[in-house]
Amino acid sequence: MNLSARLRLVGGDLLDLLFPRVCLGCGDLLESKESCLYVCDGCIGQIRWLQFPCCLKCGQPFHGELVGVRECPNCVHLKPSFHRGRVAFLLHGIGQSLVHHLKYRGVVGVLKDLPHLLLQAPDYLSFFEDAVLVPVPLHTYRLRKRGYNQAALIAGTLAEFVQGASYADLLVRTRSTSTQTALPKEKRLKNVKNAFATKPESVMDETLRYVVIDDVITTGATLESCCRVLRKAGASRVDVAALGRG
Ligand SMILES: [Zn+2]
């Protein structure tokens, strides 16, 4: 993490004084009257929210007339063991910029805007009601390098403001895997197979609904791998969610 990212982690407000904030979408200087810290009101309207109709498993949007289609071809092929999946927005324009700044540039303050931004996606928010939110873990090596786990920060933020939701850091990554983005679809599940485990102290409650959270979903392989571990440990209902859809 570079110096500016570290400063943002320990004291974003101080940095704001030195370097005025600009909208991550259009680059305009943000004034205090704007509703968000990192996105101007104009750009909030540009976010491409994912709405129904979409794949019930991975949130992939469907276009045109639909009769009886509930899962996308990828999910039909993957046969995920999770029950449902939801995604907030497409990784496009401002949505992509938000995730990129959170994940690679250390601007974790963008999560302060999440409660306001997600007012635009009530269906997405209600998905987390009364659920236990479990972040996809980072390997210790990558966690040390980045300084934080973006999935854990997203899950923690959602758990703070969604009614009845709670946060539980139940999983560990047992081996470092090569990045999924460089791999073709067929190899992704194999790449993350047996890469996760529950922490020794994690105990599943089969009366609860768990939602595994990641920053981005593409084929769903990482989330599926985490889901299998939770199911094996005794969780009866596991869903998945991500902020962005790649
Ligand atoms: Zn799908």
**pLDDT at residue 65 is higher than 90:** no
- Reported as a single tens digit per residue, the pLDDT across 6-58 is 555 555 556 666 777 889 989 998 887 888 999 999 999 999 999 888 899 88
Residue 86 Cα to ligand 1 middle (Å): 10
Cα of 147 vs centre of ligand 1, distance in Å, is: 32
Sheet holding 132-135, edge to edge: 85-90, 237-245, 209-217, 132-135, 166-167
Q: Report CA(100)–ligand 1 centroid distance (Å).
A: 23
pLDDT band at 5 (very low <50, low <70, confident <90, very high): low
CA of 101 to the centre of ligand 1 (A): 26
Which pLDDT score is estimated for 79?
87
pLDDT tens-digit map of 116-162: 999 999 999 999 999 999 999 999 998 999 999 999 999 999 999 99
Res 7: pLDDT: 53
| DSSP letter for each residue of 12-33 | HHHHHHHS--B-TTT-PBPPTT
CA of 56 to the centre of ligand 1 (A): 7
In this predicted model, what pLDDT tens digit does every residue of 179-224 receive, in sequence order? 777 777 777 777 788 899 999 999 999 999 999 999 999 888 899 9
- Taking residues 162-183, report their average pLDDT: 87
User: Taking a C-beta distance cutoff of 8 angstroms, is the pair 175, 195 a contact?
Assistant: yes
Q: Which residues are near ligand 1, the ion (C-beta closer than 5 Å)?
A: 55, 57-58, 60, 72, 75
Q: Is pLDDT at 246 greater than 80 in this prediction?
A: yes
CATH for the stretch 48-245: 3.40.50
CA 161 to chain centre: 15
Q: What is the mean pLDDT of the chain?
A: 88
pLDDT in tens, 152-166: 999 999 999 999 999
Predicted local confidence at residue 151, as pLDDT: 98
pLDDT of residue 157: 97
The pTM score is: 0.88
Nearest to 222 by CA among 201, 185, 204: 185
The CA distances from residue 53 to 56, 60, 63, 75, 238, in Å, are: 9, 9, 8, 15, 22
Residue 89 CA, ligand 1 centroid: distance in Å: 15
Confidence of residue 4 (pLDDT cuts 50, 70, 90): low
- CA–centroid distance, 136 to ligand 1, in Å, is 19
